[in-house]
Amino acid sequence: MTASFDCLYSFRRCPYAMRARLGVLFAGLQVELREVTLKNKPAQMLAISPKGTVPVLRLANGAVIEESRDIMVWALEQQDPQGLLDATILDQANALIEQNDNEFKHWLDRYKYADRHVEMTQTEYRQRGEAFLQVLETLLERSPYLLGNDPSIGDIGVMPFVRQFAHVDRDVFGQLPYPNLQRWLQHWLAHPLFLQTMIKLPVWRESDDMVVFPSRA
């Protein structure tokens, strides 16, 4: 039984790992979940993925998927009951995730850790990040989700990063002129699958019993 589960190394608070777990949940799959601490990464994870970042998925056949976007796609290609990989909007979804990962994340990191990046003020970093928030707000003026009336991989690929941006200073975020984005984020924060994504698990040790995610007991 143990060998039949794909094994996902994850870290609860990492937005990349969050979206990988969301992909698994929306696909209706189960994996073995190994919660790691980034200060003491397990040798088993480093052996299959020397880059040392999460998430990392080791498939039951021995193949390894090291990027969160690829893990989402892998999961949803197995099963996609809610149509998150809708081919008619997939190019748009990929473009949003690309902008999130390559542009927004840059400013998000500097906004969150402004004391480490003294070239600009925290406010200036926030304003740079808001360029992406404005893109999302415009999309959400037209529909409840980023690319239509139903969620897509674009939503679950971007949401954990917007959440992190909002949580840098929740009072400031609540005052920003993005009512549709704030509604969308609150919807996701209360979504049953996101709540399941954020369940706290103990840090994995080799001697532990296997943790199956999601639990269906």
Rounded distance between C-alpha atoms, residue 86 and residue 73, angstroms? 12
Contact of 45 with 36, CB cutoff 8 Å:
yes
Question: Which pLDDT value is given to residue 216?
Answer: 81
Q: How far is CA 3 from the centre of its chain?
A: 26
Q: Per the structure block, which two tokens stand in for 32?
A: 């073995």
Q: Rounded to the nearest 5°, which phi and psi values hold at 49?
A: -150, 85
Rounded distance between C-alpha atoms, residue 150 and residue 79, angstroms? 17
At 217, the pLDDT band (50, 70, 90 cuts) reads low
Question: Rounded to 5 degrees, what angle do the CA atoms 57, 54, 129 make?
Answer: 130
User: Which domains are assigned to the chain?
Assistant: 2-83+196-213 (3.40.30.10), 90-194 (1.20.1050.10)
Does the structure show a pLDDT above 90 at 200?
Answer: yes
Q: What is the mean pLDDT of residues 56-79?
A: 97
Question: SS3 for 86?
Answer: coil
Does the structure show a pLDDT above 50 at 165?
Answer: yes
What percent of the chain is modeled with pLDDT above 90? 97
Top pLDDT among 3 and 39 is at: 39
At 1, the pLDDT band (50, 70, 90 cuts) reads very low
Contact of 111 with 120, CB cutoff 8 Å:
no
Of 16, 33, 32, nearest in space to 72 by CA: 16
What's the pLDDT tens digit per position in 126-135?
999 999 999 9
Cβ neighbours of residue 217 under 8 Å, at least 6 residues apart? none
Question: SS3 for 11?
Answer: coil
